[in-house]
A and B are shown apart, each in its own frame.
Chain A
Amino acid sequence: MTRCRRMNMAVGVVIACLGFMSGCGYNDLQGLDEDTKAAWSEVVNQYQRRADLIPNLIATVKGYAAHERDTLESVVNARANATGIQVTPETLKDPSVFEQFQKAQAGLTSALGRLIAIAENYPNLKADQNFRDLQSQLEGTENRIAVARKRYIDRVAEYNKMVRYFPTNLTAKFLLHIEEKPNFTVVDEKAVAKPPEVKFN
C-alpha cells in the first residue's frame, strides 16, 4: 500500500513539474528575448547600411552643389552623431540610451531629407545617374529601416506582454529578474501633431 502511495506521489510531482515548466513561461521568455535581440540587430544593420551610403551621397552632391555647405555639413555631423552611439542588446535595456539612439537617428533622417530636398534645385544633379541610384538606394534603405523597426516593435510588444501577464510575470520578476524593454516611439510627438506651414511667395 505504501508503495502505491509513493507511486502516486511521484506521479503527482512529475505532472506538477511538467505543468510548471510549460506554464511558467521560462522557455517562452528566453525565446522571445532572443527574438527581440535578433530584431534589434536587424534594425542596427539597416541603420548602418544607411550610414554607409552617406559618404558617396555627399561626394556626388558636392560635385554639383558644393556651396550648399551648411546642408552638407549638417548631414556629416548628424551621421557622426548617429554612428557614435552603439546600442548593444545589453545597453538596450536602458531607456535613456535607447532614446538617445532614436534621437540621433531621427536627426540624421531629417538632415538627409533636407539634402534630398535641395537636390530639387539642381537639375544636373537630379539627372545624374549616380545620384539617382544613390537616391533609390537611400529610399530602399529607409523602407528597410521601417520594416525592421516594425518587426522590432512587434517582438518587443510580445515580450513585454509576457513580462506583464500572469503567471509569467512571476517567472520574469523572481526567477529571471527581467523588466520590460523600451520600444520605439514617435520622437517628437508635438512636431508630428503640428500641421506643416505652407508659404506661398
Chain B
Amino acid sequence: MMKSLRCFLLVVVHFAVVVAAVAQHDHTLLMAKVEKAVDDTSKGRLLQEAALQVLDSDPVLSADYAKKALSHMEKTGDPASIAGSHSVLRKIYLTGSNTAMALYHAEKMLDFFKESGNKNMVAKASFQVGTIQFQRADYSAALKSYLESLRLYEKLEDKFQQGIVSNAIGTIYTELNDFRNAHDFLTRSQQLARDINDSIGIAILYTDLGILYSHQQKHEEAIASFRKGMQMMEVLHDTSNLINAMNNLGVTYKKAGLYRQALDSYQECYRLMQQVYPADSTGFAKMNSNIGTVYISLKDYPMAEQYLHKAMEFTRTHPNVALAGELYNAYYELHKSKGDYKKALEYQLLNRAMADSMFNLQKSTLINELQVKYDAEKKDHEISKLSQQNKIKEAEVGKQRIVKNAFIAGFIMILLLAIVMFSRFKVKQKIQQQLEQKNNDLQLALENLKAAQTQLIQSEKMASLGQLTAGIAHEIKNPLNFINNFADISGELIGEYSEAKTGPEKSALMNDLSQNLRKISEHGKRADSIVKGMLSHSRMHAAEKSPTDINRLCEEFFSLAYHSMRANFPEFNCDLKKDLSQDIPKIHVIEQDISRVLLNIVSNAFYAVKEKARKLNGEGSSYKPEVRISTGMHAREITVSIYDNGMGIPEGIREKIYNPFFTTKPTGEGTGLGLSLSFDIIKAHGGTITLESRAGEFTIFTILLPTGEI
C-alpha cells in the first residue's frame, strides 16, 4: 500500500517536471518565432499564445507578453485583433484577481463589439463586464450591464443565455436584499431552463432560490429548495454544484439553529471537496472554519478549537484577510462561550484590527489600481504617439504638422492627465467620505459604549447599595438601643435626684446622669457615621479628592461589610482582626471611590470565608473563619492589606478576576463588576492592587496608594 502510493507520487512528480519542461521548451520556441515573425499581426498572435501558455506558471510574464501583443495589434490598426488582445488580457487579470484591470479590458472589448454592431458579442461582453463588476461588489453597475445583456439576448431569442443572465440578476437582487425582484428573476430563469430542458440550470436555480429564502429567514423553504437541487445534481453527477449547494445548506441549517444537521452537511461537503478539488486548500480552510463555528454552537469546544486551529494554520502560510477576520471572530465567540473573557477580548481586538487593515488594504488597492490604470493609459498613449511619429516620418510631412501633432498630443496628454487627476480626486473624495462615515460610526459606537458603561457603573452602585442597606438598617438599631434607653433612664434619674436626700446619693445619680449623656452622644455619633457611610456610597457626583484618613475608611467599611454579611446570612460569623498603623498620613483621594474598593474587597473576603465554612460544614472541621485588615507604609505608599483564610483564588482564574462581569458567585449574587471597578479606581489614583492566594487556603489583596509626598 505504502509502496504503491510512493510510486504514484514519484510518477506524479515526474509527470509535473516533464510538463514544465515541455512548456518551457514550447515557450522558448514561440519566443524565437516571435523574433522571426515579420508583421505585427503574427508577432501579436504568437505573443498571445505565449501569454496563455505561461499564465499558470508565471502570471506576471503572461501579462507582459499580452501587453506586448496588444501594442503589436494596435500598430496593425485592426479592431478585431485589438479586441482579441483585450480579451486575452481580461482573462489573465481575472486569473490574477486583478478585477480593476480585467474590467478595463472587458470594457474595451465591449466598446469594440458595440462599434462593430455584433449584438450577440455585445450581449456576451456586457455579461462579462457585469460579472467583473459583481465581483467588485459594484452591484448597481453590474445590474446595469446584466440588464443590457438580458435585453439583447431577449431580442436574439437566446433562451439559454437569458436564463443565465436572469440567474445572475436574481443573485444580485438577493445580495441587495430586494427579495421580490430576486424571486422574480430567479423563477423566470428556472422557467427558461425548464423550457429548454436544461437540467443543470434547473438544479442550480434551486440552490440560488434556496440562498434567497435563506436571506429571507425562510429556513424551511430554503432547505427544501437546496435538497431538490441536490437530488438533481446527484443524478446528473454534477459534483461541483452539489458542493456549493451542500455548503449553503450547512449555512442555512446553522442559521436555523440545527447545528447537528449543519455539521453533517459541512462534513459531507468536505468529503466531496476531497474527491473533486483535492488541491483547493483555501476551500478546505474555509470549510474547517465553518465546521469549527458549528462546534462552538454545539458547545463542543475542544473540537471547535481543533478545526479553527487547522484553518488558522492555513492563514499563517496563505495570508487571507477575510478568512482571518472570520476566524478571529470565531475565536472570540469560542472564548466568550467558554467564559474566558480576556481571550475573547483579545480576539475581538484582533478582529477589529483586521477590519481596519482590510479597510486600509481596500483603500491602497484602489489607489494602486488607479495608478496602474493611469500608467497603462499613458503607455497606450505613448505607443500611439510613437507610431504616429513613425508614420509622419515615412510620409515626410512638414515640420509644421509635427509641431501641430505634438501640440495635439500634448494637449491630449494634459486632458488625459486632467481626467485622471479628476477621477483620482473623486476617489480621494470618496475615500475621505468613507473615512468620515467610519469616524462617525466609531464616534457613535464610543458614545453608546460610554452610556452603557455609566449605566453599568450605576447598576453596580445600586447593587452594592442594596446589599448594604439591609446591614445598615439593622446596624443603626444598636446605637439606637443605647440612645433610647439611656435617655429614658436619665429622665428617671432626674426624678430620683430631686427626691434624693443625702449628698453621696445625689452625687452618684449625678455621675450616672453625666455618663448617660456621654453615652447618648457617643451612640448618636455612631448612628450618624453609619448613615454618612451609606450616603457617601450612593452619592453619584461630587467626585472630588480630599485629604482622607484611610484608617477611618478601613474601620467604617470593614464593619459595614461585616454587618451587611450578618444581615444577609445570620449564621455567618468570623474573627475580625484590625491592625491599623497609626503612622500613615492622610492622603488625597476620592473618598467614596476608595470606600467602594474597600467595601468590595472586604465583602469578597467575607464571602470567601463564608463559602469555605459552608463547604466544610458537617465535616466536623475545626475551621475558624478569619478576616484581617491592616494598613502600613511601604516606601512612599500606603498599603492596605485584606487577608482572609477562605476559599482562595485558583491559579487559573487569577488573571480574570478584574475582568468586567467575571464572577464566581451564583447568578444574581454578584454583578462581576466589583473588582473591575476597584481596579479602575485604584489605577485612577495612581495606585496598584496585587493579589496573593493559595487555592483553598487564603487570599491577600494588597492595595498600594501613593501618598503624593516626595
Q: Does A pair with B?
A: no
Which A residues contact B (CB, under 8 angstroms)?
none
Which B residues contact A (CB, under 8 angstroms)?
none
